[in-house]
C-alpha cells in the first residue's frame, strides 16, 4: 500500500525525514526537503516509489549505480544543499553537547579523489557480484563504474572483480581493501575462501600478470613486487597491509594544515592515535614529537619513514592501548600541545586526562561529529576554550564528515 508523504528535512544519514500527522519520523532514502513523495513500506524501511513534487535542489545523479549501490547517499542533492547538510551535521552534534562553537564552511573534496576503498564480493555460481552493499540491505550492488575513487582504482575495477572471482566463496562476502600508492595498487584481502596451495599459486600468478604492487590475505603477504609507499608531508611512508590512512590526500592535507598552524607555537607535542605519522611527521618539521599508537605495524612504518629525513626534529615512539591505558594528566602536562585522532568511538577516557592536564593547545580530529562533540564537552568542562571547528569532506556524497576542533587552555 502506497503512502504519500512530505519530506521535512534530511536525517543524520542523509535520508529524507517525514512526520505524518506530526507523529514518529519516517525515513525515506534519496529524497529531499520540500518534496512530496509516494512511498511503499519494505520490511521496516520505506522506499520512494515516485517523486510527486520535486525539490528545486534535486539534480540528476552523475553515477549510473546511484540509488542501488549504497556507497553514496546524496548524489541527487545540489552542491549548496549537500555542503549545508554536512556542515549542519557538525553544528547539530556540538549543539547536542551544549556547545555553540564557530563552525567553518565545509572544506570540499572532488570526485575521483579517494585513494582507498573497501569493496565486497560474493560468488554466485561461476560469477561473482562485486562492489559495495546496497542501501539498507546485505546484498552487494554489482558495479562497473565508481566516481569517487582515483583513476588508478577506477580504471582497474575489472581486474579487481576478476581477483574477487578467484578468492570469493558462496558462504559470506569477501572484503577487498584497495589503496592507490606511488608504487601501484596495494590490495588486502580478508574473509575469503580458505587459503590453499592452489589458491596461493593462483593469487601469485594474478598479481604478477596484473601488475599489483602488493597482495596480502589476512595480513600474510602473497606477493610484493614493489614496496607500496605514500607521501605524508613530502616524506615517503610505507603503510602496512590494510593500514588505516586518510581516504583523500587533499582532505588529509587540510586537516594537517589546521593542526600544524594551531600547534606551531608548541616546541614539544604529543600525537595520540598517531597511526603511520599523518600528523607526527609534519609536526616534527618544527618541534619534537612523541607519537603514541596501539598498532605495532603502524609505528614500525612511522619509525622507518622518519629515519634519514634531513631537518626533522626528534620523534619518539610508544606502543600503547589508549583506550585501556590513556596517557595520564601529569605525563601529558610535559607537552605544550597535543593532537588526537581516534577511531569513530572517540577518546572519552583520554579526553578526561587531557581535561585534567596543563597542556596549552589541543587539536582534536574525528570522523564522527557526535563523539568529537562529546570529547569537546569534556575538555571545555575541564577549562579549555573551544576556538573553532572545521568540517572537512573526504567521504564524497555520503553522510560521513570529518572535523577538526581546536582548543586552548
Residues annotated as catalytic (active site), given as ranges: 367
Question: What is d(CA 10, CA 33) in angstroms, rounded to the nearest whole number?
Answer: 6
59 is in an annotated binding site: no
Question: What is d(CA 393, CA 256) in angstroms, rounded to the nearest whole number?
Answer: 14
Residues in Cβ contact with 255 at an 8 Å cutoff, skipping those fewer than 6 apart: 246, 278, 365, 392, 402, 404
If you count them, how many residues does the chain have? Answer: 409
In DSSP terms, which residues pair with 385 in a beta bridge?
Answer: 408
Residue 174 CB neighbours (<10 A): 24
DSSP letter for 67, please.
Answer: T
246 is in an annotated binding site: yes
In 3D space, the residue among 88, 87, 148, 85 whose CA is nearest the CA of residue 116 turns out to be 148
How deeply is 333 buried, as exposed, middle or buried, from its count of CB atoms within 10 A (0-12, 13-18, 19+)? middle
First to last CA, the chain: 58
Question: What is d(CA 379, CA 236) in angstroms, rounded to the nearest whole number?
Answer: 34
Residue 240 CB neighbours (<10 A): 19
273 is in an annotated binding site: yes
* 184 phi-psi bin (left φ>0, alpha ψ -120 to 50, beta other): left
How deeply is 83 buried, as exposed, middle or buried, from its count of CB atoms within 10 A (0-12, 13-18, 19+)? middle
The per-residue DSSP string of 316-347 comes to EEEE--TTTSPPPHHHHTT-SEEEE---TT--
124 is in an annotated binding site: no
Question: What is d(CA 291, CA 317) in angstroms, rounded to the nearest whole number?
Answer: 5
| Binding-site residues | 246, 273, 293, 341
| Binding-site residues for S-adenosyl-L-methionine | 246, 273, 293, 341
Amino acid at each position: 500500500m502506497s503512502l504519500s508523504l512530505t519530506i521535512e528535512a534530511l536525517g543524520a544519514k542523509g535520508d529524507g525525514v517525514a512526520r505524518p500527522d506530526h507523529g514518529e519520523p519516517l525515513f525515506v532514502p534519496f529524497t529531499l526537503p520540500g518534496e512530496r513523495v509516494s512511498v511503499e513500506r519494505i520490511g521496516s524501511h520505506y522506499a520512494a516509489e515516485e517523486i510527486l513534487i520535486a525539490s528545486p535542489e534535486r539534480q540528476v545523479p552523475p553515477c549510473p549505480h546511484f540509488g542501488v549501490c549504497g556507497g553514496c547517499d546524496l548524489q541527487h542533492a545540489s552542491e549548496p544543499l549537500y555542503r549545508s547538510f554536512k556542515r549542519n551535521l557538525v553544528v547539530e552534534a556540538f549543539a547536542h553537547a551544549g556547545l555553540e562553537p564557530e563552525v567553518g564552511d565545509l572544506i570540499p573534496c572532488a570526485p575521483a579523489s579517494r585513494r582507498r576503498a573497501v569493496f565486497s564480493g560474493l560468488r554466485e555460481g561461476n560469477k561473482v557480484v562485486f562492489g559495495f552493499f546496497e542501501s539498507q540491505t546485505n546484498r552487494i550492488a554489482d558495479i562497473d563504474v565508481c566516481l569517487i575513487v582515483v583513476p588508478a582504482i577506477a580504471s582497474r575495477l575489472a581486474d579487481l572483480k576478476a581477483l574477487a572471482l578467484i578468492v570469493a566463496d558462496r558462504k559470506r562476502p569477501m572484503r577487498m581493501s584497495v589503496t592507490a600508492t606511488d608504487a601501484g595498487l596495494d590490495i588486502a584481502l580478508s574473509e575469503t575462501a580458505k587459503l590453499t596451495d592452489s589458491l596461493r599459486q593462483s593469487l601469485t600468478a594474478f598479481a604478477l600478470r596484473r601488475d599489483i604492487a602488493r597482495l596480502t590475505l589476512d595480513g600474510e603477504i602473497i606477493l610484493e613486487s614493489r614496496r607500496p609507499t605514500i607521501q605524508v608531508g613530502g616524506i615517503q611512508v610505507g603503510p602496512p597491509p590494510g593500514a588505516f590512512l586518510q581516504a583523500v590526500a587533499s582532505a588529509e592535507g587540510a586537516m594537517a594544515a589546521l593542526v600544524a598552524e594551531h600547534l606551531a607555537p608548541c616546541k614539544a607535542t604529543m600525537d595520540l592515535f598517531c597511526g603511520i605519522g599523518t600528523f607526527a611527521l609534519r609536526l616534527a618539521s618544527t618541534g619534537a614529537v612523541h607519537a603514541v599508537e596501539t598498532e605495532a605495524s603502524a609505528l614500525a612504518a612511522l619509525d622507518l619513514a622518519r629515519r634519514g629525513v634531513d631537518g626533522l626534529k626528534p620523534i619518539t615512539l610508544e606502543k600503547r592501548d589508549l583506550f585501556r591505558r590513556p596517557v595520564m594528566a601529569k605525563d601529558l602536562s610535559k607537552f605544550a600541545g597535543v593532537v588526537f585522532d581516534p577511531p569513530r568511538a572517540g577518546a572519552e577516557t583520554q579526553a578526561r586526562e587531557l581535561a585534567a592536564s596543563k597542556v596549552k593547545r589541543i587539536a582534536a580530529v574525528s570522523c564522527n561529529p557526535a563523539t568529537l562533540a562529546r570529547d569537546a564537552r569534556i575538555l571545555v568542562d575541564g577549562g579549555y576554550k573551544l576556538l573553532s571547528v572545521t568540517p572537512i569532506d573526504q567521504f564524497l556524497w555520503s553522510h560521513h564528515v570529518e572535523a577538526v576542533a581546536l582548543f586552548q587552555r
